[in-house]
Amino acid sequence: MGRPGREVRTDFPHRRQADKDSGRAGVACQLNPPSSTSSPLDKTLPAARGANMTAERFDPASADQRWQRAWDEAQSFRADDTSAKPRSYVLEMFPYPSGRIHIGHVRNYTMGDVLARAKKMQGYEVLHPMGWDAFGMPAENAAMEKGVHPGGWTRDNIANMKAQLKRLGFALDWSRELATCDPEYYGHEQALFLDLYAAGLVYRKESAVNWDPVDMTVLANEQVIDGRGWRSGALVEKRKLNQWFLKITQFADDLLAGLGSLDKWPEKVRLMQENWIGKSQGLRCTFRFPGSAEGVEVFTTRPDTLFGASFVAIAADHPLAQQMAETVPELAEFIADCKRGGTTAAELETAEKKGFNTGLSAEHPLKPSWHLPVYVANFVLMDYGTGAVFGCPAHDQRDLDFARKYELPVTRVVADGDETGSTFDGNEAYTGPGRIVNSEWLDGMDVESAKAAVIARAAHEGWGEGTTVWRLRDWGVSRQRYWGTPIPFIHCGTCGVVPVPKDQLPVTLPEDVSFDVPGNPLLRHPTWKHVDCPQCGGKAERETDTLDTFVDSSWYFLRFASQPADKPFDPEVIRRWLPVEQYIGGIEHAILHLLYARFWTRALAHIGLIDVKEPFGSLFTQGMVTHETYSRIDPANGQPVYFSPADIERGADSAVLKADGAPVEIGRVIKMSKSKKNVVDPDDIIAQYGADAVRWFMLSDSPPERDLPWSEAGIEGCARFVQRLWRLFGQYDPAATGEDKALDRKRDQTVQAAGQDIASLGFNKAVARIYELTGAVEKAAPSASRSAAIRVLLLLAAPMMPHLAEEAWAAIGGEGLVADAAWPPVDPALLVEDEVTIAIQVLGKLRDTITVPKGLPREEIEALALASDKVQRALDGKAVKKVIVVPDRLVNLVA
RNA sequence: GCCCCUGUGGCGGAAUGGUAGACGCGAACGACUCAAAAUCGUUUGCCGCAAGGCGUGCCCGUUCGAGUCGGGCCAGGGGCACCA
């Protein structure tokens, strides 16, 4: 059982138990069992015993841990699949276990945590899980650099980061923790992959990849920098390899249409996905070679401009160009020249349009007697459309640049306002709307009608058809790497590509692998890949590619919701939790992760495994945490040397290095990064200020979608506020008597508004309201109202500063844990003011304000306004021509 | 090049077309203290002694009234890109 290098599992459904029984961690990172539950005899809250009700200061160093343990022991945040309550699934994008959490994680998870805790208080059954996106390159890099095993490295990192998250007191259901590198997880993923294969959504195709000849591995496009491998620096080659693909294009239309229903997603993300999917509708048609059945097939979105054509251009790697190059050395040279061109944005922007006249000509499809020259052109892309275009210079800038250079005809076919002449002057193409001109039977139509007319005729005459072209490509998921999900297929000389039978899943990674030479360890492992064919029993080889890690994160939110041992998830339970009510993460995942997850949701629905349309109902992309930089110019080389904030003494508007007391330059506030040393370590600040102050800082001031500038002064202010609340909570007096109507009103208004702010993730506004109520309570004289307000304030603060809240809750004799307490109710009658302050304007300028009973009739307000000295002075004897009264708000006197 | 977002005090930022600057940070002054920290109080958009005037990147417009709506610019940030 679990012997390294074992090829095929035969007992997947039962393996989980078996492995735990044997105590083996397995090859990958098995997670710790849930922490032991408290003794049933221990009904009192253990942490409460440590709470010091009379302490003048709240001591996070002791309180944080006590309450974290109390929540663990009470399993306060365990989600109940069978609960009858309304449900809320709050999810933050799970982290890659790099080793340490960074401040961005703290911000992200604090936001989700406040929402989850508030929802729980408001009566929802909340699912708020956490796990690890644990496969990927950094683990292999660590293996290469430090000689450690990727599995061990990852497991250690997870343990560290889990401890860090615990120190922040997040309300997470740790019983659902998962790691994608756990065979239990990726085995189910393999099963899903086989299901998609059976449904025809997975296929193999020969495809060009970026190959690093030094590291002997495939690189993602992002890992190729200026044509060189990011690690090795070697010139990257294009290689043809058999690759596995997921048929995401089958859902292109639906993925695009679905964006319309995502009204709780940022407009920006929807636009980015829309652009990425890139739907273009147009005409595909053939320009025949005279007297031949052969021709060049082109795609255009502007069939209306067909009469403005003046050339045909094909891509350098178009098969026709390749074929001709064999016999025409000048063309071969030109093609080679095209390939040498840079691919960066700036180079493309400035690259000159160049072409090579093949000497061929092609018939215009609408007028066979009209022959157009055929060029090979450097601006035509083989991998978009058909790899060939017709050039209409008057109405396409690239075509115009090209036509001017090679002195080709430029004919206007769309009127630009009054300009209808066939001769097109200037060097700026007209791409706007207009009537079709100089186009025979199309003349007089608008652009859209002309497009339809040409497509209809093409279809009728058989030389072309209306078609849709997508920018979106099928998703290549093969990675020639070790630390990923093995693709569950076997290559047999007799039977071909054979899926691993499901009862043999998971296909686990071998543990005894080496990283001392480049290349894929799975490929050179002595035994792992050698297996018998499941079909014919003959000798066969395992697929040694592993899946792109984006596959792992494309369905983890389903596994969080339902974790049966014998299948990836239970559809019935999925139906209860999904879609995720609120998903929170970084904008960097706007396209790939979020698009892939939407695709998987559709693919799994397509094969009947789930009944979910969109995985994430509401999406929120949070801003970065930034910090100013501290530097000095190194006189030796003129380069800046950066200093860590920890080594800096920050004054009001200057900063000095602690080591030498000499000043340093205070630089721009930018994203925290190791190279600029403007980072703060979550552990350090938690140790220094306590988890609640850190959490409070994360929520204060900046709106959550914007960048949050970290500052020493800011966190100190937060830590002070934690103590200020503690002192106020200490003034709670259950025996106090007397009513303070204004405070009651303020209290309920704050509950109402803060609740709405949290629901809409306006944490900075909720924070401001809590400050306001705090100030109001502090100023109020003792009364029953004041005590009630203190209690409410504690409950409002609980989602944000849970440790402080628990400590104070225990101190004031609250029942159970504040984590289980109910959100304070509001009295609707108290939400409306009985007095209002009305602004009095003269000619739209504020001149005075009056405080009157709410609902005072217009005439009385008007009379009071006119009675004001300040108003009379502003009127300066002029007659009032018109009076605008907005009841309970303002009066505007127009003189 | 195309598309999107953002521009408000010293700083982070509030503000259903209706009192711009809530709240926080910072700063100043005061109280407490032998002193400091902590805490508490007052002040804090700009000009002006005041009355008052000016003020949400700039210019126009709509409106009784514009930070907010429309048009045109400018600046910063981001995304996409020889996509036919």
- A858-CA/B69-C1' distance, Å: 27
| pLDDT score, position A835 | 85
| pLDDT score, position A216 | 78
CA distances from A712 to A465, A627, A648 (A): 65, 10, 11
Residue A15 has pLDDT above 80, yes or no: no
By C1' distance from the Cα of A889, the closest nucleotide is B18
Please tell me the distance from the alpha carbon of residue A379 to that of residue A399, in angstroms, as a whole number: 9
Please tell me the distance from the alpha carbon of residue A607 to that of residue A193, in angstroms, as a whole number: 12
Q: Nearest CA to A94 among A197, A170, A21, A208? A: A170
Q: Nearest CA to A127 among A197, A79, A60? A: A79
CA distances from A709 to A103, A628, A714, A890 (A): 11, 8, 9, 38
Q: Which residue's alpha carbon is at the shortest distance from the C1' of B6?
A: A706
Task: State which H helix or E strand residue A683 sits in.
Answer: helix A682-689
ω before A510 within 30° of 0 (cis)?
A: no
HSE-CB at A139 with a 13 A cutoff on CA atoms is 24
- Segment A128-140 shows an average pLDDT of 94
Per DSSP, what are the bridge partners of residue A891? A840, A885
pLDDT digits (tens, 9 = 90+) for A16-38: 333 333 333 334 444 444 343 33
- A889-CA/B17-C1' distance, Å: 13
- A232-CA/B2-C1' distance, Å: 35
Q: Which residue's alpha carbon is at the shortest distance from the C1' of B3?
A: A271
Please tell me the distance from the alpha carbon of residue A236 to that of residue A172, in angstroms, as a whole number: 44
Q: Which residue's alpha carbon is at the shortest distance from the C1' of B12?
A: A701
- A197-CA/B12-C1' distance, Å: 52
Q: What is the model's pTM?
A: 0.88
| pLDDT score, position A875 | 81
pLDDT digits (tens, 9 = 90+) for A197-229: 999 999 998 887 778 888 777 776 666 666 677
Is the CA virtual torsion A211, A213, A216, A221 positive or negative?
A: negative
Judging by beta carbons within 10 Å of its beta carbon (0-12, 13-18, 19+), is residue A829 exposed, middle or buried? exposed
| pLDDT score, position A39 | 36
Residue whose tokens read 């093609």: A335
Torsion of CA A836, A842, A844, A847, to 10 degrees: -60
Q: Nearest CA to A593 among A615, A565, A562, A578? A: A615
Judging by beta carbons within 10 Å of its beta carbon (0-12, 13-18, 19+), is residue A781 exposed, middle or buried? exposed
- A712-CA/B45-C1' distance, Å: 25
Helix ranges (H only) for A183-251 are 183-198
- Which of A150-164, A399-413, A715-729, A861-875 shows the lowest mean pLDDT across its residues? A861-875
Q: Provide the 3-class DSSP secondary structure of residue A440.
A: helix
**A217 Cβ contact list (under 8 Å, min separation 6):** A211, A480, A481, A518, A519, A520
Please tell me the distance from the alpha carbon of residue A396 to that of residue A144, in angstroms, as a whole number: 51
The pLDDT > 70 percentage for chain A reads 91
| pLDDT score, position A76 | 96
**A769 Cβ contact list (under 8 Å, min separation 6):** A750, A753, A754, A757
Q: Tell me the helix, strand and coil percentages in chain A, rounded to 5.
A: 40, 20, 40
Q: Nearest CA to A415 among A390, A447, A441, A389? A: A447
**In chain B, which nucleotides are within 7 Å of a protein Cβ?**
1, 3-5, 11-16, 18-20, 22-27, 38-41, 52-54, 64-66, 78-84
By C1' distance from the Cα of A349, the closest nucleotide is B82
Q: Is residue A318 within 8 Å of residue A382, measured between CB atoms?
A: yes
| pLDDT score, position A220 | 67
- A726-CA/B37-C1' distance, Å: 19
Please tell me the distance from the alpha carbon of residue A732 to that of residue A697, in angstroms, as a whole number: 25
Judging by beta carbons within 10 Å of its beta carbon (0-12, 13-18, 19+), is residue A503 exposed, middle or buried? exposed
DSSP A300-365: ES-GGGGGG--EEEE-TTSHHHHHHHTT-HHHHHHHHHHHHS--SHHHHHHPPP-EEEEEEEEEET
Q: Which two tokens stand for residue A212?
A: 């690093």
| pLDDT score, position A527 | 94
Q: Which residue's alpha carbon is at the shortest distance from the C1' of B13?
A: A701
Judging by beta carbons within 10 Å of its beta carbon (0-12, 13-18, 19+), is residue A825 exposed, middle or buried? exposed
| pLDDT score, position A653 | 65
- A874-CA/B53-C1' distance, Å: 13
- A116-CA/B43-C1' distance, Å: 41
Residue A48 has pLDDT above 70, yes or no: no
Confidence label for A657 from pLDDT (cuts 50, 70 and 90): confident
By C1' distance from the Cα of A470, the closest nucleotide is B83
CA distances from A452 to A302, A389, A448, A462, A467 (A): 10, 19, 6, 15, 12
Q: At what angle do helices A784-797 and A741-759 cross, to 10 degrees?
A: 10
Q: Nearest CA to A273 among A248, A301, A306? A: A248
By C1' distance from the Cα of A718, the closest nucleotide is B24
Is the CA virtual torsion A200, A201, A203, A208 positive or negative?
A: positive
| pLDDT score, position A340 | 63
- Segment A434-438 shows an average pLDDT of 89
| A857-892: burial string, b at 16+ Cβ within 10 Å, e else | eeeebbebbeebeebeebbeeeeeeeeebeebebbb
Cα-flanking dihedrals φ and ψ of residue A416, to 5°? -105, 90
Q: Is residue A174 within 8 Å of residue A32, measured between CB atoms?
A: no
Is the CA virtual torsion A45, A50, A54, A58 positive or negative?
A: negative
Q: Which residue's alpha carbon is at the shortest distance from the C1' of B24?
A: A701
Please tell me the distance from the alpha carbon of residue A695 to that of residue A688, in angstroms, as a whole number: 13
Please tell me the distance from the alpha carbon of residue A784 to that of residue A737, in angstroms, as a whole number: 4
- A18-CA/B5-C1' distance, Å: 53
Task: State which H helix or E strand residue A14 sits in.
Answer: helix A12-22
Does residue A318 come out as left (phi exceeding 0), alpha (psi in the -120 to 50 range) or beta?
beta
Please tell me the distance from the alpha carbon of residue A758 to that of residue A113, in angstroms, as a whole number: 11
| pLDDT score, position A694 | 96
Confidence label for A54 from pLDDT (cuts 50, 70 and 90): low
- A667-CA/B13-C1' distance, Å: 21
Confidence label for A347 from pLDDT (cuts 50, 70 and 90): very low
Please tell me the distance from the alpha carbon of residue A475 to that of residue A113, in angstroms, as a whole number: 34
Please tell me the distance from the alpha carbon of residue A494 to that of residue A501, in angstroms, as a whole number: 17
- Give how far the C-alpha of residue A269 lies from the chain's centroid of Cα atoms, to the nearest Å: 8
The number of beta carbons lying within 10 Å of the beta carbon of residue A772 is 15
Does residue A841 come out as left (phi exceeding 0), alpha (psi in the -120 to 50 range) or beta?
beta
Residue whose tokens read 């940022």: A266
Confidence label for A166 from pLDDT (cuts 50, 70 and 90): very high
By C1' distance from the Cα of A757, the closest nucleotide is B14
By C1' distance from the Cα of A840, the closest nucleotide is B19
- A849-CA/B17-C1' distance, Å: 20
| pLDDT score, position A25 | 37
By C1' distance from the Cα of A720, the closest nucleotide is B38
Task: State which H helix or E strand residue A770 sits in.
Answer: helix A763-779
By C1' distance from the Cα of A838, the closest nucleotide is B19
- A839-CA/B55-C1' distance, Å: 19
- Which of A233-237, A313-317, A552-556, A689-693 shows the lowest mean pLDDT across its residues? A233-237
The pLDDT > 90 percentage for chain A reads 58
Confidence label for A490 from pLDDT (cuts 50, 70 and 90): very high
Q: Which residue's alpha carbon is at the shortest distance from the C1' of B38?
A: A720
CA distances from A811 to A415, A729, A785 (A): 80, 9, 19
Q: Provide the 3-class DSSP secondary structure of residue A403.
A: helix
DSSP A589-614: GTTHHHHHHHHHHHHHHHTTS---S-
- A628-CA/B70-C1' distance, Å: 39
By C1' distance from the Cα of A768, the closest nucleotide is B23
By C1' distance from the Cα of A299, the closest nucleotide is B84
Please tell me the distance from the alpha carbon of residue A627 to that of residue A510, in angstroms, as a whole number: 44
By C1' distance from the Cα of A383, the closest nucleotide is B83
Q: Which residue's alpha carbon is at the shortest distance from the C1' of B66?
A: A844
Q: Which residue's alpha carbon is at the shortest distance from the C1' of B83?
A: A384
- A850-CA/B61-C1' distance, Å: 33
pLDDT digits (tens, 9 = 90+) for A283-311: 999 999 998 888 999 999 999 999 999 99
- A723-CA/B46-C1' distance, Å: 36
Q: Which residue's alpha carbon is at the shortest distance from the C1' of B26?
A: A652
Q: Which residue's alpha carbon is at the shortest distance from the C1' of B22?
A: A768
Q: Nearest CA to A392 among A502, A287, A546? A: A287
By C1' distance from the Cα of A350, the closest nucleotide is B82
Q: Which residue's alpha carbon is at the shortest distance from the C1' of B14?
A: A765
- A614-CA/B13-C1' distance, Å: 34
- A883-CA/B63-C1' distance, Å: 15
Please tell me the distance from the alpha carbon of residue A179 to that of residue A173, in angstroms, as a whole number: 14
Q: Nearest CA to A244 among A188, A205, A186? A: A205
Please tell me the distance from the alpha carbon of residue A124 to that of residue A171, in angstroms, as a whole number: 14
By C1' distance from the Cα of A707, the closest nucleotide is B12
| pLDDT score, position A616 | 95
Cα-flanking dihedrals φ and ψ of residue A582, to 5°? -135, 120
Confidence label for A758 from pLDDT (cuts 50, 70 and 90): very high
- A746-CA/B65-C1' distance, Å: 30
| pLDDT score, position A351 | 63
